[in-house]
Structure 1
Amino acid sequence: MKTKLLFLSLSFFFLISSAQNVLLYIGTYTNGNSEGIYKMQFDLKTGTLSELQLAIATENPSFIAYSPNKKFVYAVSESLGGSVSAFKIRENGLLQFLNKVSSNGEGPCHISLNKQGNKAVVSNYRGGSAAIYSINRDGKLNEATQVFNYNSAENVSHAHSAQFFRDEIYIADLGTNKVYQYKLKNNNYELATPSIFKTTENLGPRHFAITKNGLYTYVINEYGGSITSIKKTDSGFEQVDYDSTLEASFEGKNSCADIHLSKNELYIYGSNRGENSIAVFKRNKYDGTIEKIQTMPVHGDWPRNFTLDPSGKFLLVANQKSNNISVFSIDAATGKLTFLHDVKAPTPVCLLF
């Protein structure tokens, strides 16, 4: 009887332990000590990262994305020629290569999928293009169905990120200082708005976050060190706010990188490469404006990408040049960050829960 009780107790312990841990995949640059995509265990209760392991060897997987059912991972290969690959997630969390297709442009730097998991969009930084792909049920990528080229005699494009929202796609072009809006029509995406905001400055829109209802979009500007807040209206789009991500006393060079909304959409976080910080903003849900409330040092160098964990209680930062991942707790009442600890990881540039 005692043996049976001990067995049941141990089984319960392991069930609780496994439920408390989730997988974190890490995209990297492989021109240093990294070999590809890595995985770690993240403790949802303590915020602890452990068990760093190579999930699959692949070249420069600088941005990675899940399928909605979390059976597959997709990665751009930011290398000569440019490609995007599909991987199946095995039971042990390691990745199995499925197939690879051209990214249709040099320097692919971002990939995202729609909610149905049957389409992907890839942004090509050096190529100045974005490509749309259909995805098979087995997770494999087909060749691109549409390619948008933005280079012209007047402008050098650097497409940097794209997101699906319902039947639309938004694409941020850091080179031409635009965020394009496309709408699905007859199974193809057609340009609906040349840019959802207008500027005469060289802001360099890089990444953006869209509220769940699609009413507000927040664009982080790499060159401008700022966030542009945009409201969707019946007649188009309207800029409602513009805020610096930097401390007034900061005098060095800075390149903004990533931006995320909190789970409750009350706070916005943006990363500064140079100041090496996360800028924290409180968001007004009624008019979409934001107010800076904290500048948190990242305890590392060059925070290219960061993410919030599935519980919304932690924020993790990938510090590219210092080869570490920093973990912060998020105060539920204020949205502010507190540094907890960091772990070493080879050239981390993308974090995926």
Structure 2
Amino acid sequence: MSGTDVRGPGRAFIGSFTSAGGRGILTAEVDPDSGALTVTGATDAVPDPSYLALAGPFLYAVSEAEEGAVAAFDVSGDVPRPLGAPVAVRGAGPTHLAVAAGHVLTANYTSGSVTALPVAADGSLGDPAVVALHEGSGPVADRQSDPHAHQVLPAPGGPWAAAVDLGTDSVRIYALDALSGAPRPHGEAPLRPGTGPRHLAFHPAGTHAYVLNELEPTLTVCRWDATTGTLEPLGETPVVAGGAAGPDYPSAIVASPDGRFLWAAVRGDDSIAVLAVDPSGEKAELRTTVPCGGRWPRDLALDPSGRRLYAANERSGDVTWFDLDPETGIPHRAGSVDAPAASCVVFRRHA
């Protein structure tokens, strides 16, 4: 970096499980040169904030509890400021959330539902506008007797949102109302029974989606049609090396900004899979795996530059970061910071 570069530190927020010894939501400075995290504070204003989402100066956190809720914070200052009390999602065990069309959407794992909470101009949340219950089951009796929505996120190219349901081996597509922004059920893409899809990432071109399966350590490549709001499975590829000891539970997947690579976290194996994506976006090939830097990697995130990858290692209680080789996509461990019961990390851009 040039000596005239005057960028200040960026900021990151780390979610954690307070029920397992975590400190709640940690605030960290991000060194613009090395990517190193330095924790500067924490708030336990909401229990078990296992997943976070940023929208401008506002931070939203699920409370992954039987009576699930979402907390809103203003993070424009040095310390996160709560924007009112947490709002109940009328669903159990929310594990993921995203901001889309003027709403915070939550995926409620235990109740198998998706909730939409309207966002006010000041970032605060209203009571649920929609609670959509999923139906169905899968062949793995102890994990798929009921629906289990595990992730929800906006889909590119139109007024869509995608919800990944581990219990029903499917991805539900929601249409976002043109006037209110509220989601309504649109369609369902069935995946191979028993795979247990957990998370997906869209190709930056908006033409494909890559669904990471938890109950089998595989990735399902899908074609995404934003005109019709349909997802079409094309094929699968492993995310663990042949002969690797199990059981393995993939957790999180991210795509590189140029669409050439995917990185998948695998718990049990405690690895990060590096997959190369062909120019068409329709094929992904496992190139190698590297240690995640700790135990039980629950989440992966890229920094805003796309040059570093961060793993939230829940059971070893740390966030480990990696420099990414731009030619091979292989992560090289660069450092770590203590974060008990870490569950996710999100970033704001440099000042």
Specify if TM > 0.5. yes
Structure 1 portions without partners, runs of 5+ = 1-12
CA RMSD of the aligned region, Å?
2.1
Counterpart Cα distance in 2 of 1:274 and 1:243: 19
Tell whether the 8 Å contact from 1:206 to 1:222 is kept in structure 2 after alignment.
yes
Question: Residue 185 of structure 1: CA displacement?
Answer: 4.5
2:126 corresponding residue in structure 1: 142
Tell whether the 8 Å contact from 1:56 to 1:95 is kept in structure 2 after alignment.
no
2:201 corresponding residue in structure 1: 209
Question: Residue 15 of structure 1: CA displacement?
Answer: 8.4
Residue 122 of structure 1: which of 106, 116, 120 is its match?
A: 106
Counterpart Cα distance in 1 of 2:301 and 2:124: 26
Q: Pick the structure with more helix per residue.
A: 1
Residue 154 of structure 2: which of 160, 164, 172 is its match?
A: 164
TM-score (norm 2): 0.89
Percent of matched pairs sharing the same residue:
27
Structure 2 portions without partners, runs of 5+ = 139-144
Counterpart Cα distance in 1 of 2:136 and 2:238: 30
Q: Choose between structure 1 and 2 for higher RCO, CA contacts under 8 A separated by at least 6 residues.
A: 2
Select the structure of larger CA radius of gyration: 1
2:84 corresponding residue in structure 1: 98
Residue 41 of structure 1: which of 10, 26, 29 is its match?
A: 29
Residue 247 of structure 1: which of 241, 251, 254 is its match?
A: 241
Counterpart Cα distance in 2 of 1:308 and 1:75: 19
Query: Quick one: which amino acid aligns to residue 259 of structure 1?
Result: I
Counterpart Cα distance in 1 of 2:4 and 2:328: 34
Residue 107 of structure 1: which of 93, 96, 120 is its match?
A: 93
Tell whether the 8 Å contact from 2:320 to 2:337 is kept in structure 1 after alignment.
yes
Question: Residue 97 of structure 1: CA displacement?
Answer: 3.8
Question: Residue 222 of structure 1: CA displacement?
Answer: 0.5
1:61 corresponding residue in structure 2: 49
2:75 corresponding residue in structure 1: 89
Query: Quick one: which amino acid aligns to residue 29 of structure 1?
Result: F
Residue 74 of structure 1: which of 51, 54, 60 is its match?
A: 60
Tell whether the 8 Å contact from 2:58 to 2:76 is kept in structure 1 after alignment.
no
Tell whether the 8 Å contact from 2:50 to 2:62 is kept in structure 1 after alignment.
yes
2:313 corresponding residue in structure 1: 319
Query: Quick one: which amino acid aligns to residue 122 of structure 1?
Result: T
Q: Deviations over 1:122-167 (max 9, x none)?
A: 0111111111121000101111111111245885011100111230
2:325 corresponding residue in structure 1: 331
2:14 corresponding residue in structure 1: 26
Query: Quick one: which amino acid aligns to residue 216 of structure 1?
Result: H
Q: Deviations over 1:216-246 (max 9, x none)?
A: 0110001111110001357744322311111
Query: Quick one: which amino acid aligns to residue 160 of structure 2?
Result: E
Q: Deviations over 1:287-342 (max 9, x none)?
A: 42111112010120000001011111110100000011111000112211111122
Question: Residue 20 of structure 1: CA displacement?
Answer: 4.1
Deviates more, 1:126-135 or 1:182-191: 182-191
Question: Residue 278 of structure 1: CA displacement?
Answer: 0.6
Match runs of 1:240-319 below 5 Å: 240-319=234-313
Residue correspondences, number: 333
TM-score (norm 1): 0.89
